Amino acid sequence: MSGSSADGRGFGAPIQLEEIVQAAEALRTGGLVVFPTETVYGLGASAFDATAVRRVFEAKGRPADNPLIVHLADISDLSRVTEHPPEVASLLFERFSPGPLTLVLPRSSRVPAAVSAGLPTVAVRIPSHPVARELIRLAGVPVAAPSANRSGRPSPTDLETARQDLGDRVAVYLDGGPCEVGLESTVVRIAAGAASVEVLREGAVTREMLSEVLGVTVDAAGGSSNPPVSAAESPGTRHAHYMPRARVIPFEGAFPGPEQDRATAPVALLRIGNAPEMEYLDIALLRRFGSVEEYARSLYRVFREADEEGCTRIYAELPPPRGIGRALRDRIFRASGLENDENFSI
Ligand code: TXA
Ligand code: MG
């Protein structure tokens, strides 16, 4: 990594083109590269190289039954990784790519089964971060990449965090500055045409945005208007996710302030806007977010800071369930060990 500033090519990051060229070469020859995207940092390998892909699972400590997302430089590369993608896939990619949208599509036989944990599908996304795009373009191969954290840890939204997690398990790190979105991409499954587009993971491309383009209501998989989704179809739901060491306690509206939490140990408090502090708590870390977007961008960073501060609990105010607020609620609930709003009670 070079500390010098941009080379004038507009990568928006402290990085030289030469570093991206070398990283692309590493990908082509079976190496692993940590690289920035607009959502979170990714741990990439050539999606056509089954051995390199296995190394990704090893470096992350990721269960082999949790598939990876394949990243493309351009929509025109879609035919390299999928077989007969439905028309609605092109419609959605034309509208939302490059950007934080992942589509689950029929997998081409060129993509090794290990990428998809043996599923007949492959998850595909076209990131918008200029460093990611240049890297994939120069590599000349699709790049399979999960988030660049050790399995079960919060996704890294800056390079140093990725480095702390993965260390010398990875040789090449590309710095693209802090991530703009801060939460992972929206994962969407398309079963049979526009009528069965379902969200498997909420993200910055919201249900509202998808619904508007498709002209139908888009729901979560297994949601009220959709049939239940099996663990095999949505493998990400099987595994523990986004867990800081501190216990995450979601709350909504009035602060719960359970009696037993009074000043026994330092806590972190994440709030939206200017609600009053809870003076009886020993607050080691207080963050007030001016917007839901800022909250989303900062969540994983703050989880890690709370751990560094030795906080035992993280009280996290829930945003309203609309727009990116849905993705943020989802990550807070998962980090708390609660599956979703339905199981939610303090
Ligand atoms: O924003 C992102 O998506 C980041 C950046 C690096 O692109 N990547 C990311 O990857 O979050 P990962 O591996 O941490 O999460 C991928 C999610 C998992 O929940 C996985 O189960 C799901 O996508 N997934 C991947 N392939 C799938 C498939 N064929 N069918 C269903 N779900 C799939
Ligand atoms: Mg991940």
Q: Which atom of ligand 1 is nearest to the CA of 127?
A: 7
- Indicate if the alpha-carbon torsion angle 172, 176, 182, 185 is positive or negative: negative
CB atoms within 10 A of CB 202: 23
| 3-state DSSP assignment of residue 39 | coil
pLDDT of res. 106: 95
User: β-strand 101-106 against 186-190: which pairing, if any?
Assistant: parallel
**Local structure of residue 48 (DSSP, 8 states):** T
- Residues with Cβ < 8 Å from 232, sequence gap 6 or more? 119
Q: Which atom of ligand 1 is nearest to the CA of 122?
A: 29
**How far does the centroid of ligand 2 lie from the alpha carbon of residue 206, in Å?**
19
* Ligand 2 ion: nearby residues, β-carbon < 5 Å: 147
Q: From the CB of 82, is ligand 1 less than 6 Å away?
A: no
Q: From the CB of 42, is ligand 1 less than 6 Å away?
A: yes
CB atoms within 10 A of CB 227: 11
Among protein residues, the one whose CA lies closest to atom 7 of ligand 1: 42
What Cα–Cα distance (Å) separates residue 28 from each residue in 18, 23, 44, 314?
A: 15, 9, 11, 42
Q: Which atom of ligand 1 is nearest to the CA of 148?
A: 6
Ligand lying closest to the C-alpha of residue 39: 1
Element (H, E) at 330: helix 325-336
In the chain, which stretches have pLDDT less than 50? 1-8, 342-346
Question: Phi/psi at 200 (nearest 5 deg)?
Answer: -90, -30
**How far does the centroid of ligand 1 lie from the alpha carbon of residue 96, in Å?**
17
pLDDT of res. 188: 97
pLDDT of res. 140: 98
pLDDT of res. 223: 57
* Contact call for residues 331 and 304 (beta carbons, < 8 A): no
- Residues with Cβ < 8 Å from 160, sequence gap 6 or more? none
Alpha-carbon gap, residue 231 to 97, rounded angstroms: 27
Alpha-carbon gap, residue 111 to 344, rounded angstroms: 39
pLDDT of res. 134: 97
Alpha-carbon gap, residue 264 to 282, rounded angstroms: 7
Q: From the CB of 200, is ligand 1 less than 6 Å away?
A: yes
- Tell which residue, 277, 246, 281, 251, has the closest CA to residue 264: 281
User: β-strand 247-251 against 186-190: which pairing, if any?
Assistant: unpaired
**How far does the centroid of ligand 1 lie from the alpha carbon of residue 254, in Å?**
34
Alpha-carbon gap, residue 43 to 170, rounded angstroms: 9
pLDDT of res. 193: 58
Question: Phi/psi at 51 (nearest 5 deg)?
Answer: -70, -45
Q: From the CB of 144, is ligand 1 less than 6 Å away?
A: no
- Tell which residue, 63, 41, 286, has the closest CA to residue 165: 41
* Contact call for residues 37 and 132 (beta carbons, < 8 A): yes
pLDDT of res. 275: 72
**Local structure of residue 320 (DSSP, 8 states):** P
Alpha-carbon gap, residue 162 to 294, rounded angstroms: 20
What Cα–Cα distance (Å) separates residue 108 from each residue in 79, 82, 244, 294?
A: 8, 4, 36, 38
- Residues with Cβ < 8 Å from 85, sequence gap 6 or more? 78, 103, 105, 106
**How far does the centroid of ligand 1 lie from the alpha carbon of residue 231, in Å?**
14
* Contact call for residues 226 and 233 (beta carbons, < 8 A): no
pLDDT of res. 153: 87
| Calculated CA dihedral for residues 74, 79, 83, 87, nearest 10 degrees | 60
For residue 154, cis peptide bond before it (omega within 30 degrees of 0): no
Alpha-carbon gap, residue 125 to 38, rounded angstroms: 12
pLDDT tens per residue, range 161-189 = 999 999 999 999 999 999 999 999 999 99
Residue given tokens 């999606």 in the structure block: 47
Counts of helices then strands in the chain (DSSP H, E):
8, 14
